[in-house]
Amino acid sequence: MSATLEVAGLETHFVTRAGVVKAVDGVSFSVDRGQVLGLVGESGSGKTVTGLSIMGLVDAPGRIAGGSIKLAGKELVGLDERGWRTIRGRKIAMIFQDPMMTLNPVLRVDTQMIEAIQAHEDVANDVARARCRDALGRVGIPSPEERLSAYPHQFSGGMRQRVAIAIALLHNPDLIIADEPTTALDVTIQAQIIAQVQKLAAETGAAIVWVTHDLAVVSGLSDRLAVMYAGRIIEEGPTAEVLTRPGHPYTAGLLASLPINNPRGRPLNQIPGSTPSLLRLPPGCPFAPRCGACQDDCTVTRPPETRFGMDRRLRCFHPLEASA
Amino acid sequence: MSDVAIEAIPAVETPLRRFIADYCANRLALAALVVVLVLALLSLLAPWIAPQNPYDLTQISIFDNMLKPGERSMDGNLFVLGTDEQGRDMLSAMLYGLKMSLFVGAASTAMGLAVGVSLGVTAAYFGGRIDAAIMRLVDLQLSFPAILIALILLAVLGKGVDKVILALTLVQWAYYARTVRGNALVERRREYIEAAQCLALPRSRIIFRHLLPNCMAPLIVIATVQVAHAISLEATLSFLGVGVPITEPSLGLLISNGYKYILSGKYWVSLFPGLLLLFTILTINLVGDHLRDLLNPRLKT
Amino acid sequence: MSALIEARNVSKRFAREPDLAAKIAGLFGNVRREVVHALDSVSLAVAPGEVVGLVGESGSGKSTLGRILAGVWEPTGGDVLFDGCRTADLSGDERRKADLAVQMVFQDPMSSLNPRMRVADIIGEAPLFHGVAAKAEVAAYVADLMRKVGLDPSFADRYPHQFSGGQRARIGIARALAVKPRVIVADEAIAALDVSIQAQVINLFMQLRAEFGLAYLFISHDLGVVRHLADRVAILYLGRIVEIAKADELFAAPNHPYTQALLANMPKVETGKHAFAPLQGEIPSPLNPPSGCHFHPRCPFATARCSDEVPALKEIAPGRLAACHLNGP
Ligand SMILES: Nc1ncnc2c1ncn2[C@@H]1O[C@H](COP(=O)(O)OP(=O)(O)OP(=O)(O)O)[C@@H](O)[C@H]1O
Ligand SMILES: Nc1ncnc2c1ncn2[C@@H]1O[C@H](COP(=O)(O)OP(=O)(O)OP(=O)(O)O)[C@@H](O)[C@H]1O
Ligand code: SF4
Ligand code: SF4
Ligand SMILES: [Mg+2]
Ligand SMILES: [Mg+2]
């Protein structure tokens, strides 16, 4: 049986005046039904572009330069706009950091939701409206009937994000891509949204790709974890294993720098240096200038993807722990 | 912190250099800019390159009046664009007229900018009553047609280049004040303004050294378009006879002078200054339009 | 305890301009001018060399309190005291000294730097203007500061956009240090930085504290960082302080139900995959806060009294304050 989403060797490039930006450079992963994949990485590492590529939303000057994206075995790369329209919003839904990317500020919530339903299904207005009411209720919005006829600006940030999630779930998609949906929200509201998504995923069996830069968020949510650095996945595996026994020096450095892993009031273990520009990557391992385990061979060729342990993948010549 | 590998992003691309490169990428806009510069240069060099000084009565002869373009006078001088009813060489008159038009346009725009920008940025920084007072004045100003205000002012002030510039300044400042206020309202929320306040720098310094330079980019667009607008407004005023004095004619006045001969077939006295005016305004607007496209972040990918 | 900088019963109200919809509605009835109580009689002191963490949800008034303590905004009620003197009574040089002694470091490393100024001017402008450094030596002074925050002084004539996020944050810190402050108000100063850069900047804050004896008001929603850095922590909820305690005590045994909920909801790496049990309810609008204890609509322990009576912030143990009726009358 094939996984819900299979991405293999995905490459998404942006052609700019300063050169070709390889925002996604050979990314492979798969997500099964009902599974949550956490995709973490720093700003500019290519998380959003990966998500947009899967949605077929990469605009010029960007294009998918190679690789394949399969949804339930069906190839999506190379699909024409008509083909995409039957998939986007119906089979795959995306939740953005800013819910106003999904919501139109001048239309009432019910108008937008009914429109979203009727874009893919031929149903009468009142049936669609009833479905919208249920959807709002499912994401925990109190008195959904009244809320349907409100405008987005009358909602709080957390509520807006719930409405965006409700819209994403309208067609029971096979795959949900959530791009930092809780980053702008408060701690208590973030916990509510995560709990809601967790529950809904379990109910509907959708596969979820949860993009974030916060290790702590995905640690409580995801089954598998993929860490991106400079357009590549440098480590991938079951969340608990990656977090307890990181193989890549970057993952290990991130974990070591968390305040919780340092004695209170003492200097934190820090990763030196700053994130490289994608236009001027060093020839070997992109992490080499910042890496404590770097050796001579690291600066010559890019580390290829290797299997690590039972069920993990890694891009590093000198993994931290040769696990069995 | 010496263990931090410090590597700044190299200065390959400064914003200005990038902007110039972006501007030059559009052929039409580049051509327009070159034309505008050439026109400005020609007008500045008018005293040296014009065949005659059209306002030196010793150089013109009434017997050469109304020569057709390309005709020669009795003493053999060629008049490429013909002469007017007083025997002036049209080409020379147009070069001098262009100079006057550009000068009035640029000077009034510069003064309008100075007044409008100071008031607009002050309104935005202080907000509250000061803001309300200045902006009501702007609303008042903008609710009358520009030409009407200029006409009334000139009727009161009388003729003269300085008076025209003053009138055009008063017509224009409100646009700048409104635009700069809009930008400044956004910019003043930025944290660098708060940082400057926190560093106990005086207000005037914060307004003019920190706030103002960051509000100027969109103004460049408006100012460019406004130069063209001011030139055409001045031409209108001169055409109506309330603009520059007859002794220092602008393009508008030249058009007006020749207007009465159009029906008798002596088209060149009006037509050539008119074409030059049209061409000047058109190219300046082309430059302005392209600047706007470049500076509008929403049109950028 | 002698406080270096202190807010005493500080309140801040904003009269919110009616938006277009309200204005149109106002054509048919009278417009209600909405007032936001961003801060409601808040008292908080920072002692010399102390790090006070200020935690709260969006709109709870953290930035407002920080700006008032830094002298950027005036409070609507109450006093700010610097070295025991009300800053409102100070004038001229005294006032300037008090203003310069409290500096801010901001959240967004890009928008907090003037994009049209060179780094040398961004850092050097204020010390030159206030005579902290003479004109001849300001370049050396700036170079020295840049080295202290871990920047190469040879970049002094570059513009902010030529630096990475972490480097910009360092420039902002150097600018604050340039006028020799005694307190730094850091408003979400690391929130916008990359994960791998946050640790660098936190370390820099700690190093500067040791070197200059700086005190911090450290505003953050990241409880892990606050726990690491702060000596004391104050929790704000809708403009009121609900709990102040030593950091280790607060994290070991939170007293106020809201603090408890915050700690429980904080994502932690070590818990692993688990079901979240979030605190229910929305954060109420500050325009229209609940009566009595602001937290009562969401509080699992709320009683009838909670919706009538505002709980006072009172001492429940030495140096520890909380505002909850559960702590007795
Ligand atoms: N339209 C575009 N044109 C050129 N480059 C682009 C474009 N969109 C993205 N990029 C580049 O692609 C890279 C990856 O960007 P992406 O938005 O995927 O990062 P991210 O991991 O989502 O970061 P963040 O955490 O900041 O959201 C960046 O270096 C960015 O500069
Ligand atoms: N200039 C202002 N005008 C009107 N209301 C304001 C202004 N500044 C802040 N407020 C209001 O005051 C309240 C407190 O705002 P403040 O910025 O202090 O919150 P905060 O705790 O810093 O939140 P965040 O975590 O979102 O930064 C909010 O309700 C806000 O809407
Ligand atoms: S390949 Fe070398 S430089 Fe890269 S992460 Fe591994 S050890 Fe470090
Ligand atoms: S006063 Fe009442 S509502 Fe408020 S926190 Fe205490 S128990 Fe909860
Ligand atoms: Mg992103
Ligand atoms: Mg804030």
- CATH, residue A268: 3.40.50.300
Q: What is the pLDDT of residue C26?
A: 60
d(CA C122, ligand 5 centre) in Å:
30
Establish whether residue C11 lines the binding site of ligand 2, counting it when its CB lies within 6 angstroms of any ligand atom: no
B108, B168 Cβ separation under 8 angstroms: yes
**Do A207 and A309 share a domain, yes or no?**
yes
Q: Name residue B287's beta-bridge partners.
A: none
Number of domains in chain A: 2
Q: How many helices (H) and strands (E) does chain A have?
A: 10, 12
Q: Are residues A198 and A85 in the same domain?
A: yes
Coil, helix or strand at residue A28 = strand
Q: Do the chains contact at B1 and C150, CB–CB below 8 Å?
A: yes
Lowest mean pLDDT among A58-67, B18-27, B177-186, C181-190: B18-27
If you average pLDDT over residues A301-308, what whole number do you get? 92
Q: Is residue A324 part of a domain?
A: no
Give me the half-sphere count of Cα atoms (radius 13 Å) on the Cβ side of residue C156.
19
**Would the pLDDT of A51 be above 80?**
yes
Tens of pLDDT, residue by residue over A69-79, are: 999 999 999 88
| Same-domain status, A184 and A299 | yes
- Say if residue A179 is in the same domain as residue A227: yes
What domains can be seen in chain B, in order of their start residue? 27-46+88-299 (1.10.3720.10)
pLDDT of residue A273 exceeding 90, the answer is no
- A121 and A270 belong to one structural domain: no
Maximum alpha-carbon separation in chain C: 68
Instruction: Please tell me the predicted confidence (pLDDT) of residue B256.
Output: 77
Give the separation between CA C101 and CA C87, rounded to whole angstroms: 12
Does residue A34 surpass a pLDDT of 70? yes
Q: Minimal Cα–Cα distance from A133 to chain C, Å?
A: 19
Residues in chain B: 301
At residue C59, the pLDDT reads 84
Please report the ipTM that was assigned to this predicted complex.
0.86
What pLDDT was estimated at residue A324?
39
pLDDT band for A239, please (50, 70, 90 cuts). very high
Contact A220 C272 (CB under 8 A): yes
Residue B248 one-letter amino acid: E
Q: In what order do the strands lie in the sheet with A19-31?
A: A19-31, A5-16, A62-71, A74-75
Asked whether residue A310 carries a pLDDT value surpassing 70, the answer given is yes
* Domain that residue A145 falls in: 101-170
In the reported structure, the alpha carbon of residue B59 is separated from the centroid of ligand 1 by a whole-number distance in angstroms of 69
My answer on whether A228 and A208 are in the same domain is yes
> B167-178 burial by CB neighbour count: b if 16+ within 10 A, else e?
bbbbbbbbbbbb
| pLDDT reading at B5 higher than 50 | no
Contacts of A274 in chain C (CB under 8 A): 164-167, 194, 197
What's the pLDDT band for B273 if we cut at 50, 70, 90? confident
Q: What's the mean per-residue pLDDT of chain B?
A: 81
Same domain, A164 and A28: no
Q: Is residue A323 part of a domain?
A: no
pLDDT of residue C17: 64
For B216, which residue in chain C has the nearest alpha carbon?
Answer: C116
Final residue in a domain of this structure, among A170, A194, A211: A170
Distant-in-sequence contacts of C244-251, Cβ < 8 A, 24+ apart: C244/C44, C244/C313, C244/C320, C244/C321, C244/C322, C245/C319, C245/C320, C245/C321, C245/C322, C246/C319, C246/C320, C247/A264, C247/C53, C248/A264, C249/C317, C249/C320, C251/C223, C251/C227
Tokens of C95: 């006032």
Residue type, A73: G
Distance CA C219, CA C184 (A): 10
Q: Which band of pLDDT confidence, cut at 50, 70 and 90, is reported for residue A323?
A: very low
Mean pLDDT of A143-168: 86
Q: Same domain for A10 and A108? A: no
| B4, pLDDT greater than 50 | no
CA A69 to ligand 1 center in whole angstroms: 19
Q: What is the pLDDT of residue B221?
A: 82
The pLDDT of residue C77: 92
Last residue of a domain, one of A170, A197, A225: A170
Instruction: Please name each of the domains of chain C with its CATH number.
Output: 5-25+32-258 (3.40.50.300)
Do A87 and A109 lie in a common domain?
Answer: no
C150/B6 touch (CB, cutoff 8 Å), yes or no? yes
pLDDT at res. C19: 59
Q: Does A89 score more than 90 pLDDT? A: no
Which-ligand-closest: CA of C40? 2
- For residue A25, being part of any structural domain is answered with yes
Whether A264 maps to a domain, the answer reads yes
Q: How remote is the CA of residue A229 from the centroid of ligand 1, in Å? A: 12
What is residue A295's three-state secondary structure? coil
- What's the rounded mean pLDDT across residues A115-135? 90
DSSP string, A177-241: EEESTTTTS-HHHHHHHHHHHHHHHHHH--EEEEEES-HHHHHTT-SEEEEEETTEEEEEEEHHH
What share of chain B has pLDDT > 70, as a percent?
Answer: 89
Strand segments, DSSP code E, in C189-275 are: 215-219, 232-237, 240-246
Q: List, for residues C165-178, the tens digit of each pLDDT value.
A: 888 999 999 999 99
pLDDT tens by residue, B192-208: 999 999 999 999 999 99
CB B191 within 8 A of CB B200: no
A89: which residues sit within 8 A by CB, 6+ positions away? A116, A119, A120, A171, A173
What is the arithmetic mean of pLDDT over A40-53?
92
Whether C167 and chain B come into contact, CB under 8 Å, resolves to yes
Q: List C-alpha distances in Å: B279 to A3, B55, B259, C135, C138.
A: 66, 24, 19, 52, 52
**Based on the domain organization, do A75 and A125 belong to the same domain?**
no
Atom index in ligand 1 nearest the CA of residue A42 equals 25
Segment B26-48 mean pLDDT: 87
d(CA C250, CA C256): 10
CA C321 from centroid of its chain's CA atoms: 19
Q: What pLDDT is recorded for position A162?
A: 86
Cα–Cα distance measured from residue B141 to residue B118, given in angstroms and rounded to the nearest whole number: 16
Three-state SS sequence of B12-52 = CCCHHHHHHHHHHCCHHHHHHHHHHHHHHHHHHCHHHHCCC
Residues within 5 A (CB) of ion ligand 6: C 63
Looking at the structure, tell me whether residues A218 and A301 fall in a common domain: yes
Would you state the pLDDT for residue B6? 43
pLDDT value at residue B117? 92
Instruction: Check CB contact under 8 Å for C276 and A213.
Output: no
Provide the Cα torsion A86, A92, A97, A100; round to 10°.
30
Predicted pLDDT of residue B188: 87
Whether A319 is in a domain gets the answer: no
Answer with the one of A170, A196, A231 that is the final residue of a domain: A170
A184/A82 same-domain check: yes
pLDDT range class, residue B210, cuts 50, 70, 90: very high
pLDDT computed for residue B3 by the predictor: 38
What is the mean predicted confidence (pLDDT) over B239-256?
79
Angle at C273 between CA C271 and CA C278, to 5 degrees: 80
Q: Are C237 and C60 in contact (CB under 8 A)?
A: yes
Query: What atom in ligand 1 is closest to the CA of residue A46?
Result: 18
Q: Which two tokens stand for residue C146?
A: 């840049």
Question: What's the distance, CA A312 to chain centroid?
Answer: 19
User: Cα–Cα distance between A315 and A305 in angstroms, integer?
Assistant: 5
End-to-end CA distance of chain B: 38
Establish whether residue C7 lines the binding site of ligand 4, counting it when its CB lies within 6 angstroms of any ligand atom. Answer: no
Asked whether residue B64 carries a pLDDT value surpassing 90, the answer given is no
Of A59, A60, A272, the CB nearest to B5: A272
Q: What is the pLDDT along chain C (329 residues), one digit of tens a residue?
A: 588 999 999 999 988 665 566 566 666 655 556 788 899 999 999 999 999 999 998 889 999 999 999 999 999 999 999 988 898 888 888 889 999 999 999 988 888 999 889 999 999 999 999 999 999 999 999 999 999 998 989 889 888 888 888 889 999 999 999 999 999 999 989 888 888 889 999 999 999 999 999 999 999 988 889 999 999 999 999 999 999 999 999 999 999 999 999 998 888 877 666 677 777 777 787 778 899 999 999 999 999 999 999 999 999 999 899 999 998 87
Smallest CA separation from ligand 2 atom 22, residue: C63
